[in-house]
């Protein structure tokens, strides 16, 4: 990794999974992505009072919630009494089959079925109209709004992981570091929180779930982000073309984001 040493990216939490800083990486012009400014996590329904105080202390001005309406209704985020950040969310559903909601055939979930299910998620995401809309709004908010931001979905690993990876690419971070940041999800010290929130629902749907299937569904693999990248490049020739043509990140916006988020 090209990331320079600085405090571990994970923040200590009681009820928020995978809360971390995704800044600090070296850019291609010798600068680096600002730390203490870009955060990502899973949903905040079970956030403790200490968690809410922590999030409040980060001075986050914008939250981009990649979950759809049904997820936000089922898992409403807890907020600090003085919470004042703007929340950007989609008016509808952003995914038809999130891993934590079951889906697919109601048969025993094997490791390979779990892997294939996640590959399917990443294959569909580049052309999902809701996620195209939300990624576009994510980049516009970073371009137009001051202060820190936090992106999250349910588990903070798939929709959130892709969003973080796209921004790091825009900022000139090497692909190897983008993959390394993506893979940090597997090192999150809060896996028990995600399992508590997800596993009962998944078991109610599938029945028996192989341990490796749980890892494939609740964690990430390099081939997941690789699949997203490959789909984008196949259809658009490059990630930059996709960003410009589909997500509204043209050269002018890219320059502004780099000026704002690199140090």
* Residues, the chain: 263
Among 153, 170, 193, 247, the one annotated catalytic:
153
Question: Which residues pair with residue 20 across a beta bridge?
Answer: 10, 40
Does 77 participate in catalysis according to the annotation?
no
**Which positions ≥6 away from 171 have C-beta within 8 Å?**
25, 27, 33, 257, 258, 261, 262
Question: Which residues pair with residue 164 across a beta bridge?
Answer: none
Picking from 89, 90, 116, 91, the residue whose alpha carbon sits closest to that of residue 103 is: 116
- Exposure string for 190-207, b = 16+ CB within 10 A, e = fewer: bbebbeebbbeebeebbe
Enzyme catalytic residues: 153
């Amino acid at each position: 990794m090209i990331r320079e040493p600085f405090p571990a990216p994970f923040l200590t939490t009681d009820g928020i999974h995978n809360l971390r800083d995704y800044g600090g990486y070296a850019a291609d012009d010798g600068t680096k992505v600002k730390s203490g400014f870009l955060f990502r996590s899973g949903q905040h329904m079970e956030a403790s009072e200490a968690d809410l105080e922590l999030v409040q202390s980060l001075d986050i001005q914008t939250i981009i919630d990649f979950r759809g309406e049904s997820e936000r209704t089922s898992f409403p985020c807890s907020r600090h009494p003085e919470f004042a950040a703007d929340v950007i969310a989609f008016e509808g559903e952003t995914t038809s089959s999130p891993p934590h909601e079951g889906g697919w055939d109601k048969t025993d979930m094997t490791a390979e079925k779990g892997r294939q299910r996640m590959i399917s998620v990443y294959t569909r995401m580049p052309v999902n109209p809701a996620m195209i809309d939300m990624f576009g709004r994510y980049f516009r908010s970073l371009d137009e709004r001051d202060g820190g931001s936090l992106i999250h979905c349910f588990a903070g690993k798939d929709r959130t992981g892709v969003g973080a990876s796209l921004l790091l690419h825009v900022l000139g971070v090497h692909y190897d570091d983008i993959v390394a940041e993506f893979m940090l999800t597997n090192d999150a010290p809060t896996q028990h929180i995600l399992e508590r929130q997800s596993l009962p629902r998944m078991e109610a749907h599938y029945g028996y779930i192989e341990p490796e299937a749980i890892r494939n569904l609740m964690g990430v693999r390099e081939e997941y982000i690789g699949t997203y990248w490959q789909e984008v490049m196949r259809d658009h020739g490059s990630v930059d073309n996709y960003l410009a043509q589909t997500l509204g990140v043209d050269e002018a916006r890219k320059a502004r984001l780099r000026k704002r988020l690199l140090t």
